[in-house]
Amino acid sequence: MSLWAIVPVKPLKNAKSRLSAVLSPEQRYELAGAMFRHVLSVVTTVPEVSGVLVISRDTKALAIAREMGAKTIQESAISDLNPALMRATMIVKSWRVDAVLILPADLPFLHADDVQALIALAKNPSIVIATDHNGDGTNALLARPPGVIQFDYGPGSYQRHIASAERAGIEVMTYHSDRLASDIDVPGDLDLYRRIRSEGSFGHLPDFSFARSGGMETLE
């Protein structure tokens, strides 16, 4: 099976705005960049992934992607995620690939084993989907063939993607991994971030120190 990964990237300087109460703009930028580089470092070294396509309107993110061996598409400032992903999918489909894997740029604990497990589950036709710890978002979506369903990212996307596939009569395969389910979006996610990072396997991630004050985490 020939498969390409597609990684959409928001402007790094605007990323992780929901962490603004506990991280400075510089720290959020550092965190977003580290997670993006990690995702690329994983998918570009998985033998089953034929190539990686990064889509973004952030020229810095696109430069990082090219440095790490990915192809890029620059989106316009008014581009929306779902149409952008469909355009990227149609481009990849024109290269006669069998499947696409959509991965967010902010999966700090993604492992090659997760990517290979997702690929191993894929049938033709089908989607393979993984969610976050809340069962809300879509943290990975493999579509075989490309474009087999319309993308519908946003709050509640996990169930919408499943429903879309079921309406189309497409088999849905679900995959769960604590690593893949762990995204860092809100201050409450930082306890998990610190714990996993302290275990020593993810030294690529920045080390932020926090103190609790009145129930809210603040920078020391």
CATH number for the domain spanning 48: value is 3.90.550.10
| Residue 194 domain-assigned (yes or no) | no
Mean pLDDT of all residues in 198-220? 55
Query: Residue 88 belongs to what domain range?
Result: 3-186
| Residue 149 domain-assigned (yes or no) | yes
| Residue 34 domain-assigned (yes or no) | yes
Mean pLDDT of all residues in 42-60? 97
For residue range 134-162, list pLDDT tens digits in order: 999 999 999 999 999 999 999 999 999 99
What is the distance between the alpha carbons of residues 215 and 162, in angstroms, rounded to a whole number? 37
For residue range 98-138, list pLDDT tens digits in order: 999 999 999 999 999 999 999 999 999 999 999 999 999 99
pLDDT the model gives residue 216: 35
| Residue 58 domain-assigned (yes or no) | yes
| Residue 206 domain-assigned (yes or no) | no
| Residue 151 domain-assigned (yes or no) | yes
Phi, psi of 207 (to 5 degrees): -100, 110
Structural domain count, the chain: 1
DSSP assignment of 32-83, as one string? Answer: HHHHHHHHHHHHTT-TT--EEEEEES-HHHHHHHHHTT-EEEEPPTT--HHH
Share of the chain above pLDDT 70, in %: 92
